Structure 1
C-alpha cells in the first residue's frame, strides 16, 4: 500500500528532471549547486520512526523509542557522531496501519528525515514498505521478525533487525528436543504472522505430526481459558509460546488457576522477566516462571557491560524508567544506527548510509556480530537460550544458528563494549 499523498514513481521522474535542470545552474561563486541531503545539516542528523505510543500495543512497546531517544541523548552529550547530534522524531501510530501511513508520510515529506529507523510492527510497517522503497529512504532496523524485510532485490533500502519468528521457533523446538526428549510439545501463538512464523520454525524441527496440539488467540482476546483448557487436556508438557508479554502472563496465570504447571518455552517478544513480574506480581512470578526458557540475541544478563552502560543511560537520560528487555532493544537499535552513521562518512547521504549497512562492517552489540551484506538484509539469525533461575534471567550457554530451518549449536561471540558505547567515525 502506498501513500495517497502522491504517486511516488511520478515524483521520482520529476525529481530526476529537476536534477538535470539544476545541473546547469551555478551559485554566485561559480560553483555548482548541490542538493542538500534530507535530514542532514552541518551539525545535526534527523531521523524518524513510527511507534505505538498509544493503543493496544503501547504497554511495554512504548518504552522502546524512549530508550532509543535516551541513548541518542547520551551520544549527543558526548559530541555526537562525526560532529553531528542525532535528532529522533517519534510519531505515534497507535499500532494502526492507516495512521502509520500518515505519520511516515509526514516524516518523509514534511520533516524530511534522512531515514526511518526501527519502525515497529509487521502489519503497520508493511503499509509503508513500498512507499519508502520508491522514495529511496533508508528503512533501517525494522522492529519485527517478519521475513518480508529481507528481500534486497525488491527492497534494497530495507533492513530487518529482530531475529525472525521462524528462527526463534526453530531454536526453542531444538532446545526442547534436546532437553525434554519424548515430551509432548504444544504451541500457543497469536493468530497472525507472528504466531504462524513461530509455528513454522517449530515444525521445521519437530515436523507437523510431532506437535501434540496447536492453539491460537486474537490480540483482542481478554481470556485464554479455552485455549489453555485444550492444551491441558491434550497432556502438553512443553508449551512453546508465540505471545507478547501480556499474553504470556495470561497463559501462565490461567494454567496456574487450573493447577497445571507445564514447561514454558517463550519467544523473545513475550519473555521479558521484569515485564512479566509487573503483570503477575513478584511472588507469583517467582513461583510460576522459575525454569522458564526463552530466546534472545541482545545483551541482558546481570554481568553484561552493555547492560551496565544502558542502566546508567536509563537513569541519566530516561528518568529512571523501568529497565526491561525493551529498554535494551531500544538502546541497542540506537547504537546500531550510530554505528551505521559513523560508517556513512563525514558527510552522510541516504546512499552512503545504505552502503554502510551493506558493507558488512557493522557489528551491533549482540551475542554475535551482525552479518548484513548486499545479499542479506536480515537481522539476527543466531539466538541464545535464556532461563530463569531464582528470579534471575540470563543466558545458559546454549546458542543456536538457524539457517533455512537447520539448527546448529555454535559458540556465542559477544560484541565487546568500546569507546563508552559511542561509535567513532
Structure 2
C-alpha cells in the first residue's frame, strides 16, 4: 500500500497546543478542482488538512497522545511515499493540526473554533464530553466530525448527526458483549457496578443490562457512580466491596482512577472478576500497575490487535507500525494504550474514503465515508471490520471479549 522510504516530520509547538505538520505538506486556502465544484475549506489540489482536539495533558494524556500519534504515523509514511491519490485524480499529502484540550469540554470547543476555518474535517479526538462540546457547532458549520474516539451513540445516528460518525464501538456494544458472556456462563453471579456519571458510564451500564436481560443467573446487587472530576473512588469501592459481589463492572474512563480502584479493592480483600472498558484496559498502563493479576480474571473487549502484545512486532505490518510511530510521530515507546493502533486504523479508513472522493467537498466526503463495507483496516481482529453503512452504529461495532493472561489479553468464549 505504501513505500518504506522516509523523511522526518516537522513538529512545531504552539501555546496550549501541538501542531503536527507532516512531511511534504503546506497550508493554503481552498481551490477549485477540475471536474468538481468549489473545494471546501481545508483542501487544495496539493494538500488536505485534518484537525484534532484531544487530551495531550492531564489524566487522559496517555490515550489522548496516542490518538494523535497513530494517525500522524500513518499519514507520515503515506506522505513520504507520495501522498494519497484521490478519486478526483489529484494526489494530496495530509496535514494534521492537533490541539490539547486536557479533557476539558470548554477547551475542546475553543480548539474547534480555532481550527474550523482551516481544516477540512475534525477527526480522531478522544472523549465523550469533549467531542460533544463542539458537536452542535460542527453541525451548524457543516464541518465533518468523524471517526472520533467516543462510544457515544449520538455521533453515529445519521438523522441526529449528519456531519458526525464515531469510530470505536458504542459503549452499549461493549457492555452488552460482556453481559452476554456472563449470562451464558450458566453459573450464578452477583455483580457490583461503578460507572462514570455521564453518557459514557450510562451507555456501558445500559449495554450490560441488555446483555443480562432475562438471565436468571446474574443479579446486580449494587450500582454506584463517580464524577469524571473526582480524584478518588475509595468510598465507592468500600461500599461495593461490602456486597461480596463476585463480578465488578467498572465503567471508568480515567486512567489514575482505574489504577487506584484495582489497588483499593485489594486493600479491602475484595477480589471479584473485573470488567474494564476497552479504553482503560491497557495491561502496561493500568492492569499491571493496579495489580490486576491478583483477581480471578480481568476482562475487556477489543476489535484491534494490541501493540503491547509480545507477538505484535511479528504480525503483518506490526514492526512497520512501530517504526512509523518512532519516525513520523516521535513516539519512541511501545504503545501502552490501544488508541495508537485505533488512530492508525482511522488513517487507513480515511485513505479509503479519500481514494473514492470524486469531488473535493465535505458533502462528497461524508457520502463516501458512509459507504464503507467490511473494510479490513490494519490490525483488525478476526470477526471485526470497518462498516459505516448501518445507521446508529459507529465505523466499528463488532467486538470480542478478552481476558488478561498476565502479559496481555487473549480472546475467550467462556466466562471463568
Moved over 6 A (4+): none
Where do residues 4-403 of structure 1 align in structure 2 (5 Å cutoff)?
A: 35-82=38-85, 83-109=91-117, 112-179=118-185, 181-207=187-213, 210-244=219-253, 245-276=255-286, 279-280=289-290, 284-285=291-292, 287-288=293-294, 291-300=297-306, 302=311, 304-319=315-330, 320-324=332-336, 325-345=338-358, 347-361=359-373, 363-365=375-377, 366-367=380-381, 368-373=384-389, 375-376=391-392, 378-396=394-412
1:235-259: CA deviations, max 9, x gaps? 1101111112332211111111122
Measured in 2, the distance between the counterparts of 1:357 and 1:135 equals 18
Q: Is the 8 A contact 1:246 1:279 kept in 2?
A: no
Does the 8 Å contact 1:172/1:240 carry over to 2?
no
Report Cα offsets for 1:79-98 as digits up to 9, x if no partner. Answer: 21112111011012222222
Kindly provide the CA deviation profile for residues 280-326 of structure 1, in whole angstroms up to 9, marking residues without a partner as x.
Answer: 4xxx45x3367311101122253543544422322333331341212
Paired residues in the alignment total: 362
Deviations 1:69-111 (A, max 9, x none): 12211111122111211101101222222222221122112xx
Q: TM-score, normalized by length of structure 1?
A: 0.78
Residue ranges of structure 2 left out of the alignment (5+ in a row)? 1-33, 86-90
Report the secondary structure of 1:391's partner residue: coil
TM-score with structure 2 setting the length: 0.80
Q: CA RMSD in A?
A: 2.6
Structure 1: gaps spanning 5 or more residues: 1-30, 400-425
Deviation at 1:221, TM superposition (A): 2.4
The CA distance in 1 between the partners of 2:45 and 2:158, in whole Å, is: 31
